[in-house]
Amino acid sequence: MDKFTKLTGIAAPMPLINVDTDMIIPKQFLKTIKRSGLGVNLFDEMRYDDDGNEIADFVLNKPAYRGAQILVAGDNFGCGSSREHAPWALLDFGIRCVISTSFADIFFNNCFKNGILPIVLPQEDVDKLMDDAQRGANAVISVDLESQTITGPDGGSITFEVDAFRKHCLLNGIDDIGLTLEKATAIDSFETSAAQSRPWV
């Protein structure tokens, strides 16, 4: 998992509420177990028409937001089914941070496990950032995980809270497998000792 320290990039505005995981990545794209290749189908039913053509007024199809790395979203983002493909699709598109007033719990947890920083802020702060994100190519926002601050294009700063353990994992690029591997020596020692004391197992 890539480390998340400081991210400076274009923020795309998506003021819709209750964006569920089926909207983020529709069910027909869940056959793969690969984490790559899903970005092209991110928000598929909102990005493309029935013939597969881009819908011009969808935010991520607009030239200014094609390279967006931050998403400023409406309330209850990531609700619905517990598909890990949703953060996979966001990450594969290039989104490393999602900002909202609230997230569905499973989606929120899956983001951290896949190197995406979900930030919960009061409505007033999300409104400010949504306004910043409306600036198109000038919608550059900086997210500093170490200092837990977001800096807007005019230099204004907003602080955010994040769980200390999850912060540590993101800063160091440690996922669940990485956490286990950190204990590899202790695990090997236990297995050796167990094999010697219970050779019949």
Q: What is the pLDDT of residues 38-92, one digit of tens each?
A: 999 999 999 999 999 999 999 999 999 999 999 999 999 999 988 899 999 999 9
pLDDT at residue 178 in the model:
60
pLDDT band at 192 (very low <50, low <70, confident <90, very high): low
Phi then psi for residue 118, to 5 deg, are -90, 130
Q: What is the pLDDT of residues 134-191, one digit of tens each?
A: 998 889 999 999 999 999 999 999 999 999 999 999 999 997 666 655 565 766 677 7
pTM of structure: 0.88
Q: Are 21 and 83 in contact (CB under 8 A)?
A: yes
161 three-class SS: coil
Nearest to 101 by CA among 133, 131, 76: 76
Strand partners, 166: none
pLDDT at residue 200 in the model:
77
- Written as one letter, the residue type at 127 is D
Both tokens of 182, joined, read 């950190």
pLDDT at residue 116 in the model:
98
pLDDT at residue 177 in the model:
60
Question: Residue ranges per domain, the chain?
Answer: 6-197
* Domain 6-197 top-level CATH class: alpha beta
Both tokens of 38, joined, read 């899903």
Residue 114 has pLDDT above 60, yes or no: yes
- Written as one letter, the residue type at 98 is V
Residue 78 to residue 81: CA distance in whole angstroms: 9
